[in-house]
Amino acid sequence: MLLENKIVVISGSSRGIGSAIAIEAARCGANIVITYNKQADSAESVTAKIRGLGRSALSLQVDVSSRVSVKKMINRTLETFSRIDVLVNNAGVLQQKPFLEITDKDWERMMDVNLKGTFICSQEVFPVMQQQGKGVVINMASSGGQLGGPLAVHYSASKAGVMCLTKSLARIGAPNGIRVNCIAPGLIDTEMTRDEICSNAGGDKIIQIPIQRTGTVDEVAHTAVFLASDDSSYITGQTVNVNGGLYMG
- Distance between CA 142 and CA 124 in Å, rounded? 23
Q: What is the pLDDT of residue 196?
A: 75
The reported pTM is 0.96
Q: What is the pLDDT of residue 205?
A: 79
Low-confidence spans in the chain with pLDDT less than 70 = none
Residue of 36, 155, 234, 247 with catalytic role? 155
155 is catalytic: yes
Q: What is the pLDDT of residue 105?
A: 98
Q: What is the pLDDT of residue 149?
A: 87
CA distances to 117, 161, 218 from 111, rounded to whole Å, are 8, 9, 27
- Distance between CA 96 and CA 133 in Å, rounded? 41
Q: Is the dihedral of CA 103, 16, 42, 117 positive or negative?
A: negative
Q: What is the pLDDT of residue 147?
A: 94
Alpha helices in 39-116 (DSSP H): 40-52, 67-81, 104-110
Q: What is the pLDDT of residue 181?
A: 99
Give the closest residue to 21 by CA, choosing from 226, 220, 163. 220
**Domain map (residue ranges) of the chain:** 7-187+216-242
SS3 for 194? helix
The amino acid at residue 167 is: K
Residues 6+ apart with CB under 8 A from 155: 93, 94, 95, 110, 114, 142, 144, 149
CATH number attached to the domain at 7-187+216-242? 3.40.50.720
Give the closest residue to 36 by CA, choosing from 75, 90, 95. 90
The answer to whether 63 touches 39, Cβ cutoff 8 Å, is no
